[in-house]
Amino acid sequence: MRKLTIIIAAVAMLAVACGGSSTDTATPTSSTTTAADNPTTTAQATVSGPSSSVASGWNATLIAEGTKPSLALDSAGQPAVAFLFESVPDGFVSYASAANGWAVDEIVEGYFYGPIGLDFDPDGNPNIAYHDHQSSQFDLELGDLTHASRTDSGWNTTAAGDGGHDGWDSTIRVGSDGVVRAAGIDPVQFGSADGVEYYELVGDEWIVESIGSGPIEYEWNVDLQVAPDGTVGITYFQTSEADLVYASRTPGGSWEIETVADTGDIGRFSSFAFDDNGYVHISHWNTTTSEVTYSTNSSGSWETAAVAELSAVEIGMEGARRITSLAFDADGSPVIAYSDTSGIWLARTSADGSWESEQVVTAGDNELGQLISLAIDDSGTPHLSFTEVTGHGPLTGQIIYVTAG
């Protein structure tokens, strides 16, 4: 099984103009870690340095070749990413962690689809969910959400084994009780009326159920979280109505579905989190206004506000996927990372409640992959991962990790 060479990009420090609204740019340099330096990897591919630049006070690390990363923090607050390459015959799903010097571990080869999900169990083991076509040719009778987990003995992969060609736009969460939960889509494009599906690993068996969304297209993302009281929540884009929808189930209850926002074409690429009181905070995309948007029920009813406008979002098979990502700061305030082909921004609320954005990454010669993954550690330090695109047909790129400090 192939493992990719790791290449680490040096810190790129830039001067910030007055007001923080623009930056001078400089291309970060890179240095190579060879297989001899790190015996867990073997030299197989060479990754060139990134053309994008980061703002002053931010550091960039180039990890490896790949696309569509999902970032999570382990129990010690160390960042890790899962990513993949969607191609036949060289497709792969891989994992890398800062705790292991960003050594890349290729988990499996095959024909896969992202976005994918990454989370850690209470023992600190990574868990990944992704869509496996299960054949080098597209087959409606094959294709499942697949779960990869690592223990001391290595990686184990198991398919959910549900009927249909499902598990698209997969995301995963592992609770403090160790229960593995996931969500994905059984798409209407392939003849299914099931739409959004919920997955739960009980012993060695996956329990799969449709939440009652009705027919849903893939591409527009689902997100899943577990509230402090055990409520499971899922956000998704109701494609028939072009609305943002939130579905929830309390322990022992049934799924309840409510529309969050319905003005215009709104709700694609949602990312959400529960606060300590169980209220929901969602970032998403308003296609009608070309705005990143924020919705919450923290006042007792759903309220939606514009965060910022994006001018370079490209939709298509190799276009935008998870262009928003929401997490809470150390003080419990929501923070939204968002991206188009030209840059990545981080938005926070100001004292008057309005959103203010800082540009973190500026694209250089290569466009950005229009997928951003954000996590914030206990000290309030943000961690980001994204793709810098290096080619199309199939989409190819470089996985880059960025943090403040």
User: In sequence order, what E strands does 175-262 have?
Assistant: 180-186, 195-202, 205-210, 222-226, 232-238, 243-249, 256-261
CATH of domain 6-404: 2.120.10.70
Q: Cβ(148)–Cβ(128) under 8 Å?
A: yes
Q: What's the pLDDT at 31?
A: 26
Q: What's the pLDDT at 50?
A: 77
Strand 154-159 to 280-286 pairing: unpaired
The owner of tokens 């290096």 is: 390
Q: What's the pLDDT at 5?
A: 30
Q: Cβ(374)–Cβ(382) under 8 Å?
A: yes
**How many Å apart are CA 288 and CA 290, to the nearest integer?**
6
Q: What's the pLDDT at 10?
A: 31
Residue 363 buriedness (CB in 10 A; 0-12 / 13-18 / 19+): buried
Q: What's the pLDDT at 45?
A: 36
Q: What's the pLDDT at 39?
A: 26
**How many Å apart are CA 159 and CA 19, to the nearest integer?**
50
**How many Å apart are CA 74 and CA 125, to the nearest integer?**
8
Low-confidence ranges of the chain (pLDDT < 50): 1-47
Domain borders along the chain are 6-404
pLDDT tens-digit map of 38-73: 222 222 234 456 789 999 999 999 999 999 999 999
pLDDT tens-digit map of 147-168: 999 988 899 999 999 989 999 9
pTM over 0.75: yes
Q: What's the pLDDT at 48?
A: 54
Q: What's the pLDDT at 15?
A: 25
Q: What's the pLDDT at 14?
A: 25
Query: CB within 8 A of 50, min separation 6: which ones?
Result: 9, 27, 28, 30, 60, 62, 364, 366, 388, 398, 400
Specify which residues 238 forms β-bridges with: 243
CA nearest to 3, candidates 73, 83, 64: 64
